[in-house]
Amino acid sequence: MLKVDPGFKATLSTVESAGELSYCYQCSSCVAECPAAQRFPEFNPREIVLASLLGVAEYLTAEGSVIWQCATCYNCYERCPQGTHPVEVITALKNIAFDSGNAPENVSSLREAVMEHGTVIAPSDTIRKRRDELGLPELPDAPAEDMKKIMGRGGG
């Protein structure tokens, strides 16, 4: 059974970029342009916005949630006529899921890599050598300390 959380909309409203959640009039423009919805029938940004608006989105932050199928391509952000930003709502849900320990393992691993190196893929000696051969400038040191500060939320 879905659990209604009246405070959930308020939680999302603290995400500055989440846009005007209550302006969504369920037109499905975001779904029509969503590559994840085309690939995964169970993924639907319109339904995610609606569940968030109604305060019944707790299931979306549980382990194995469909929210992780979002490609973060921002098509929905561009297409929404109402200034609702489904992708930012989904990102907020992802953060809640992560804080609850419900993020997929690969996401946690990527986060660790960014925390450690400041990049998803640490530049290897091979990459550095190839850049040198191509006459590209040396890569700057990864801003790992800055990344730790930025990503310090949620158990980091």
The binding site for ligand SF4 (CB under 6 A) comprises: 24-30, 33-37, 45-46, 49, 70-76, 79-80, 82, 84, 86-87, 90
**Residue with smaller CB distance to ligand SF4, 59 or 156:** 59
**Residue with smaller CB distance to ligand SF4, 60 or 80:** 80
Packing angle, helices 86-99 and 105-117, rounded to 10: 90
Q: How far is the CB of 31 from ligand SF4 (least distance, A)?
A: 7
Q: Following CA atoms 111, 107, 102, 29 in sequence, which dihedral angle do they give, to the nearest 10 degrees? A: 120
**Residue with smaller CB distance to ligand SF4, 77 or 118:** 77
**Residue with smaller CB distance to ligand SF4, 82 or 119:** 82
103 within 8 A of 94, measured Cβ to Cβ: yes
User: From CA 121, how far away is CA 26, in angstroms rounded?
Assistant: 39
Distance set, CA 34 to CA 11, 25, 26 (Å): 25, 17, 15
Q: How far is the CB of 60 from ligand SF4 (least distance, A)?
A: 12
User: From CA 63, how far away is CA 130, in angstroms rounded?
Assistant: 41
Q: How far is the CB of 106 from ligand SF4 (least distance, A)?
A: 17
Q: How far is the CB of 130 from ligand SF4 (least distance, A)?
A: 32
